[in-house]
Structure 1
């Protein structure tokens, strides 16, 4: 489970923002809203992280930062031209030459090898702990030039000091460890490109531990527009090849009562056409005739199901856009243990404006973003604010007591 995100000098975030979501073991949890950061840990993390704030406060920036880290781990080796995609520094003179920094912390199997991983997959008990991944990118004249440092560290049982898994410096030199051995892969250190991560590069050439980590990163699913828009044509093509997802989608559409009784695909010269059968209507309706809300739900559905099926992370920007306020808490509840859907402790990160959802969230699940008069975003959990457990989050938030609301006048 991902429990910490750190971001510095990235879009509207100038100064280091460290979002720590760890929940004390004494906090009551009758609905199964929290999961241990690793198997057997006392410290927990919310399965749902809802980010609130005014327009342009930094909500999307936090989600983009998480997407950028995962994309660098997973796909950076695929980039064939210099530079980086999806990165901008903070827009002041000083930040033009300050590095952009990211870090995430999460739990999992430590001292990871293919043998230990296979034992865990077979149901054996193996050592667990926490990981910290750090990525620093050099900025020159406001342009991202190269990775200046990268590191993966671990804490067995989540205790003691961070132990090196590997470290990379500005010259591309790599220090390995028994867990992440360079034996048989030394030649890769000489060809490591300045905008490719160690994990992505080594996984491409079958480094066993790098492959495991990159495969885990493939369980993170992002719907963040407009940087990577999951457009209509893409969702229709995806659904056409996923009959199991379509079956489950039809069940949900029927259950939430949008009037859709069935879906089918019709082949055309321009690709598959998605048609909907509605109660009381004689002719099937095409995709573009469906309501904005129905289409928004359908486009979101594969991200949510993919995370729930793999125990991964679904990240949805503007999740409340065109979604009825009664549907939104229902979709959030899919990630709680009581729903029976989230057997693998998947996590949902979302941004939204719907204040009514706050009545359905605990303070541990709420993150606030706000921007100061210098255009700098600041993000914090409600756990960092003096908030009573029985407080009315809806009223307090709209009153401005938590911050993150627009100032009018």
Structure 2
């Protein structure tokens, strides 16, 4: 499970920010908590609130970036820039990200990365036994080109380790060689609706979701059951792989989905998902992200979870991460939201507030707010402006 992530000099966040999912021993919650394999008390849902342009999406991006960098950066072009953006006032300083998580065996891992757009400055992996000990440390040498690499049980041959490109992770590269520790660490399931540029549009995302559900028998029934129970007017969802003839005479196969609508007389009408309401489309794509981590375990980072959805749908969506019957592997969801109804469900230790002042974003967890009691009405306090993180209009 994800325990924490901290970062600095990342987009609008100039100073170090810590995002913690661990709960204090006596923190009262109404649900959405599990004991992690290492014995930590951890929330399975964490909401992020703030005004528009405060930095909520940027708050989730370091996790999305790390997930890509650790598992896929090996596939980057040799000359490609590393997709990080430092704070505009410190463009020459490296971006630093640190993450801690435990695996299913209860081993806690820490990964530390310092990068610029051009190269890795520092990369290290630690494993906790009685204390944290490095598995590998990779530092840019004084010549600014080569790397000094120390390993302690990582298992990557020194000759190949020295060849890792400056824009790629040692872990991602070691995975290609079947290094067991690298494969284990990179096997961190992550799903999101954001990339380095922000929230993805629904255009091409619908075909991606259709293909995922079409090929995955394990999660397709849950998607259909949920969509047909959410008063969207659907009686079923059909997914097909269709073959289209292109202008040059060649053919292309495309996955597509259809909402089934049935009248009281029993007549059935199939409507392409692209012609369904924005709410239905959003719910369909959202479930393609959430059901993956619920089935396999892992973390989902969702930007503007309520986008195009009725606020009443937020509670049943979040409940998927609370109940052990729907979340058997203790999957976690981090989400940004504008609907304050969510604050009736979560406690102060399960909510972050984001504010931007003088072009710098800052984040603080609800239980860090002085004077905020556990029995206070969190929603009323937030809506009144007492907790900050609301637009000043």
- TM-score, L = length of structure 2: 0.89
1:320 counterpart SS class? coil
Alignment of 1:357 with 2:331, yes or no, is no
Number of the residue aligned with 1:18: 18
How many Å apart are 1:324 and its aligned residue? 1.1
Pairing of 1:111-260 with structure 2 (within 5 A): 128-138=106-116, 144-156=117-129, 160=131, 162-171=132-141, 172-178=147-153, 180-182=154-156, 185-215=157-187, 217=188, 219-224=189-194, 227=198, 229=200, 231-260=205-234
8 Å contact from structure 2 (residues 82, 167) kept in 1: no
8 Å contact from structure 1 (residues 83, 146) kept in 2: no
CA deviation profile, 1:28-53 (whole Å, cap 9, x unmatched): 4564x2223433x2x31210011111
Number of the residue aligned with 1:60: 57
Moved >4 Å (runs of 4+): 225-228
8 Å contact from structure 1 (residues 308, 342) kept in 2: yes
CA deviation profile, 1:25-76 (whole Å, cap 9, x unmatched): 2334564x2223433x2x3121001111111111100111111111110101
- Assess, with a 3 A threshold, how the Cα gap between structure 1 residues 350 and 30 changes in structure 2: closer, same or farther: closer
Alignment of 1:379 with 2:357, yes or no, is no
8 Å contact from structure 1 (residues 278, 284) kept in 2: yes
How many Å apart are 1:398 and its aligned residue? 1.4
Provide the rounded CA distance (Å) in 1 between the counterparts of 2:22 and 2:239: 45
How many Å apart are 1:190 and its aligned residue? 2.3
2:186 counterpart SS class? helix
Provide the rounded CA distance (Å) in 1 between the counterparts of 2:233 and 2:296: 30
CA deviation profile, 1:259-316 (whole Å, cap 9, x unmatched): 1001224535273442222132653222122111111000010211110111111111
Provide the rounded CA distance (Å) in 2 between the counterparts of 1:30 and 1:17: 26
How many Å apart are 1:12 and its aligned residue? 0.8
8 Å contact from structure 1 (residues 59, 369) kept in 2: yes
Provide the rounded CA distance (Å) in 2 between the counterparts of 1:365 and 1:272: 38
What 5-or-longer segments of structure 1 have no aligned partner? Answer: 110-119, 121-127, 139-143
2:231 counterpart SS class? coil
- Assess, with a 3 A threshold, how the Cα gap between structure 1 residues 8 and 83 changes in structure 2: closer, same or farther: farther
How many Å apart are 1:256 and its aligned residue? 1.7
8 Å contact from structure 1 (residues 173, 189) kept in 2: no
8 Å contact from structure 1 (residues 334, 342) kept in 2: yes
Provide the rounded CA distance (Å) in 2 between the counterparts of 1:153 and 1:263: 45
Provide the rounded CA distance (Å) in 1 between the counterparts of 2:107 and 2:177: 27
CA deviation profile, 1:155-201 (whole Å, cap 9, x unmatched): 22xx54x31121111132211113x234xx12112211101111101
- Assess, with a 3 A threshold, how the Cα gap between structure 1 residues 392 and 28 changes in structure 2: closer, same or farther: closer
Number of the residue aligned with 2:251: none
Q: CA RMSD in A?
A: 2.0
Number of the residue aligned with 2:351: 366
How many Å apart are 1:232 and its aligned residue? 2.2
Number of aligned positions between the proteins = 371
2:140 counterpart SS class? coil
Provide the rounded CA distance (Å) in 1 between the counterparts of 2:20 and 2:133: 20
- The more displaced of 292-301 and 244-253 is 244-253
Provide the rounded CA distance (Å) in 1 between the counterparts of 2:280 and 2:36: 35
Number of the residue aligned with 1:314: 300
CA deviation profile, 1:59-96 (whole Å, cap 9, x unmatched): 1001111111111101010112324343111112xx02
Match of 2:290 among 304, 307, 319: 304
Provide the rounded CA distance (Å) in 1 between the counterparts of 2:185 and 2:218: 27
- Assess, with a 3 A threshold, how the Cα gap between structure 1 residues 69 and 289 changes in structure 2: closer, same or farther: same
2:113 counterpart SS class? strand
8 Å contact from structure 2 (residues 57, 198) kept in 1: no
Provide the rounded CA distance (Å) in 1 between the counterparts of 2:48 and 2:149: 36
Number of the residue aligned with 1:4: 4
What 5-or-longer segments of structure 2 have no aligned partner? Answer: 142-146, 246-253
- The more displaced of 48-57 and 395-404 is 395-404
8 Å contact from structure 2 (residues 44, 330) kept in 1: yes
